[in-house]
Amino acid sequence: MMIDQIHSVMVQLFHQYILGKLPPDVFSAAFSRYESRLNQAFISERLSSVQYYGQLMLLTQKAKEASASQMASLKASLIRLNDYQKAAALSFSGHGPKGLFSGDKHSMQDFFSSPENTESIREAYRLKHLPDSLSRSFFDSVFIQLDEVFRTRTDAVVENGFSTYSHAKCTLTSKTQPVSVLKMLADSYEQLQSCLSSTLSELSLSPGLLKDPATFRLGIQQLLTDSNLRLPAFSIDDALKAFVSFLNDRSDVEASFKCVQGGYLIAIRHNNDLYKLPLLSCPGTQTITAPSNAGIVQGASAITYLKARLFTGLLSVREIKTLYHELGHLLSMNLYQGRPAFYHADFRDIIEVPSQLIECEAITYLYASYITSDAQQKLFDCLVRTDIPDELRQTEIGCADILVHSGTGCRDILNAALPSSVNCFFSYPYFPSRLVYVKHIQDGDMAGEYHLYPLNSVTARAMSRRSGSLLKMELLTDSKLIRSAQAALMS
């Protein structure tokens, strides 16, 4: 089968899976078969970016298969640990263990954003990340098996000429070395930390709860409240109205939207071409933007699926940022001028730049009228537009991902997964198993590549500063332009 045909079948399979029409095991088996064919076809292409992507995905698949038995053992240990934690969480403020350990970061946001729950939040964090006399054996088993998974991944790529799994991923995504990526992440971490500290100092504010990894969300809320900056929640209708207004006022496209069965359809006119951007409800807890085709929505090459509950009630600031982030992906993928099957190959190392750029600009547009002083603007820029505390944590994830895939043992990542020359912003009171990032890097194609998220964020912030009063769509669709900006930063 040709590349476009294989890609089209995979798109349909994913659509059926995300809507709950295909069981996970059936989907995984079928999708993997087509994925192998697609990656082999990519390697035969003349475009170097496509060849690199084919090599990257084949190597990822090889490492995944090599570590399959270790992953099975790891997952069994994680289930035992999670079962213990669920049982121990029954006493938390009337909130059942299903919510606390659901993996859905939005499902418990009311609980985790209430100052009344501060001590319960700290206890929940301690339970999840600090081994006690009963859970220590579960944690020990998880750490041992994680190290084995990471070692097996490296063993799988050594015969292809790479020294470590991180070396393979950095080479095939961005043609760079792990040490260079670590340096840029470390520099970004220090700059973000300095910006936040100097802003709080200038406004005579204490970081307080921001320094505690369990309560930094409460700290953000408290600082905004103390500065009388109140950011209201919005319905999805109103959030989309603001987004369309943002595009019409601040970009080189004309936009509108309407309700359709199962969600919304955003119409974009750019350079006399009309694009349809579908935003549909889906069951489960996933929010994702994925390729589409005429068999799903006529005229759309990408589609955003949002968890169904976001279509009812009011969206918090974080949920609106998630919505705008996915709409950035949706714009980039639908307005992309290359073959849809080549999008992820072309954007393999800059995939998050368009979404982070749109998220940053659109959330600023939405809340501009609520900011009434310079002090509020500075806090908004640090804690909402950029969300520096979360960016610091994402940077730690990126560094941890490189380190554990370069031979550093999980237990050697103490306090924060950062180069030794960098002081950690957070005050970790105990061994932070969260910073081993089990759920982020144990599985999936982003293992060894998580550094791209904070790296892309640095690029998006730089492009935002330079975009001026008009946001051109080429900043979302021209991979050479985006890659040039990122390369300039890395140099």
pLDDT in tens, 220-248: 999 999 999 999 999 999 999 999 999 99
Q: What is the pLDDT of residue 435?
A: 43
Q: 98 pLDDT exceeds 50?
A: no
Q: 109 pLDDT exceeds 90?
A: no
Most confident of 93-97, 114-118, 123-127, 196-200: 196-200
For the residues 146-170, what does the mean pLDDT come to?
93
Domain ranges across the chain: 1-44
**What is the band of 400 on the pLDDT scale with cuts at 50, 70, 90?**
confident
Q: 30 pLDDT exceeds 80?
A: yes
Q: What is the pLDDT of residue 103?
A: 53
**What is the band of 92 on the pLDDT scale with cuts at 50, 70, 90?**
low
**What is the band of 2 on the pLDDT scale with cuts at 50, 70, 90?**
confident
Q: 42 pLDDT exceeds 70?
A: yes
- Cβ-based neighbour number of residue 248 at 10 Å: 12
- Tell me how far apart the 2 most distant CA atoms of the chain are, in Å: 66
Q: What is the pLDDT of residue 324?
A: 97
CA 160, CA 151: separation in Å to the nearest integer? 15
Q: What is the pLDDT of residue 106?
A: 57
For the residues 251-261, what does the mean pLDDT come to?
95
Most confident of 21-35, 324-338, 424-438: 324-338
3-state secondary structure the chain: CCHHHHHHHHHHHHHHHHCCCCCHHHHHHHHHHHHHHHHHHHHCCCCHHHHHHHHHHHHHHHHHHHCHHHHHHHHHHHHHHHHHHHHHHHHCCCCCHHHHCCCCCCCCHHHHCCHHHHHHHHHHHHHHHCCCCCCHHHHHHHHHHHHHHHHHHHHHHHCCCCCCHHHHHHHHHHCCCHHHHHHHHHHHHHHHHHHHHHHHHHCCCCCHHHHCCCCHHHHHHHHHHHCCCCCCCECHHHHHHHHHHHHHHHECCEEEEEEECCEEEEEEEECCEEEEEEEEEECCCCCEEEECCCCCCCCCCEEEEEEHHHHCCCECHHHHHHHHHHHHHHHHHHHCCCCHHHHHHHCCCCCCHHHHHHHHHHHHHHHHHHCCCHHHHHHHHHHHHCCHHHHHHHHHHHHHHHHHCCCCCHHHCCCCCCCCCCCCCCCCCCCCHHHHCHHHHCCCCCCCCCCHHHHHHHHHHHHHHHCCCCECCHHHHCHHHHHHHHHHHHC
Q: What is the pLDDT of residue 122?
A: 82
For the residues 459-469, what does the mean pLDDT come to?
87
- Note if the pTM is more than 0.75: yes
For the residues 384-401, what does the mean pLDDT come to?
90
Across the chain, what does the average pLDDT equal?
A: 87
Most confident of 62-76, 264-278, 417-431: 264-278
Tokens 């200038």 sit on residue:
202
Length of the chain: 491
